[in-house]
């Protein structure tokens, strides 16, 4: 596995990380914990050193899973987690509100350290920008945690370029995490240029379009009733049919490269910038191995120009998230 450095921070991680959210929520019933522990450890065995979780995944159960799985190899891996959601301590469910008050951030850090079975959080993201708390206060609080040795690096998720700049002025931002793929290219307008200017790494989540870019989903695919794709505008049957054109493009490129559509989608992201580190998620070993294979797919500048020209002719149908969720992003 190749490695990359997230911006100018010096934080070295595997070129592909592993997003762990789907092991606890969002894509139907959670798999057996023991199976996911085995999968996470299999990722380590194959060179993956960057693992992404959050207190809000579960909530709490995903951090516990990741902490248990990585405890035996803690010194070899980088664990990223997140704060910023308001979670009812009794029901252990999200309230639907954000909470980045300084005292809450500190409480979350202490709780996450215990669940992750570690004495330091490698990368601590604000999960979503909380308009009720100045970003300077958020950055200052994480700065205090860094000075106390409880956190190593500060990150932001789904933040706008102006917010990234304000936060970075208080405490250098190591990484920004947002959705980015061949069918979600919003960060290219302002966020990626800001990251390049400031020396910040970029971590694309959902780099395979919540599975759509693998080519394994079509208009006949049905999802479990608890799967978030049931309420995602981009996954309505009519939009899946319209967006199939992009998958056909990926299939065509994959045939030329002797790869799979998923590997092409990930390799395209890796080719965009040397400080981009995608975090595809999976619950299956063969998918993990397929994703890792993307690091061996090489595109020439000419290849990339052809892909961009072809993709530019494909209008993606449907918003990437439901409106209620989308309004919390890009702030």
Could you list the active site residues?
57
The two tokens of residue 112 are: 């996450």
CA trace torsion 290, 36, 75, 159 (10° rounding): 70
At residue 249, φ and ψ (nearest 5 deg) are -65, -45
CA distance 21 to 317: 25
Percent of the chain as helix, strand, coil, to the nearest 5: 45, 15, 35
CA distance 171 to 123: 13
In angstroms and rounded to an integer, the radius of gyration of the C-alpha atoms of the chain is 19
Greatest pairwise CA separation for the chain in angstroms: 56
């Amino acid at each position: 596995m190749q490695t990359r450095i997230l911006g100018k921070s010096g934080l070295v991680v595997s070129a592909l990380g592993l997003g762990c959210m789907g092991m606890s929520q969002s894509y139907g019933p959670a798999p057996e914990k023991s199976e996911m522990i085995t999968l996470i450890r299999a990722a380590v065995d194959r060179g993956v050193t960057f693992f992404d979780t959050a207190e809000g995944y579960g909530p709490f159960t995903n951090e516990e899973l990741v902490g248990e799985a990585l405890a035996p190899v803690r010194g070899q891996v980088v664990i990223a987690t997140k704060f910023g959601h308001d979670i009812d301590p009794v029901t252990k469910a999200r309230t639907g509100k954000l909470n980045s008050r300084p005292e809450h951030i500190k409480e979350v850090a202490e709780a996450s350290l215990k669940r992750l079975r570690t004495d330091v959080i490698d990368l601590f993201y604000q999960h979503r920008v909380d308009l009720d708390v100045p970003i300077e206060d958020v950055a200052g609080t994480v700065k205090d945690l860094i000075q106390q040795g409880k956190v190593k690096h500060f990150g932001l998720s789904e933040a706008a370029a102006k917010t990234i700049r304000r936060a970075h002025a208080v405490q250098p931002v190591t990484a920004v995490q947002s959705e980015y793929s061949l069918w979600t290219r919003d960060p290219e307008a302002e966020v990626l240029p800001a990251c390049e200017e400031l020396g910040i790494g970029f971590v694309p989540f959902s780099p395979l379009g919540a599975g759509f870019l693998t080519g394994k989903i079509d208009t006949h695919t049905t999802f479990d009733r608890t799967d978030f794709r049931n309420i995602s505008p981009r996954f309505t049957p009519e939009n899946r049919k319209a967006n199939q054109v992009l998958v056909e493009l990926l299939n065509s490129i994959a045939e030329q490269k002797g790869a799979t559509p998923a590997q092409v989608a990930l390799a395209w992201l890796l080719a965009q910038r040397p400080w981009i580190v995608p975090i595809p998620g999976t619950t299956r070993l063969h998918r993990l191995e397929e994703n890792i294979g993307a690091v061996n797919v090489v595109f020439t500048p000419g290849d990339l120009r052809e892909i961009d020209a072809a993709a530019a002719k494909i209008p993606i149908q449907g918003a990437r998230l439901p409106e209620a969720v989308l309004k919390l992003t890009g702030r």
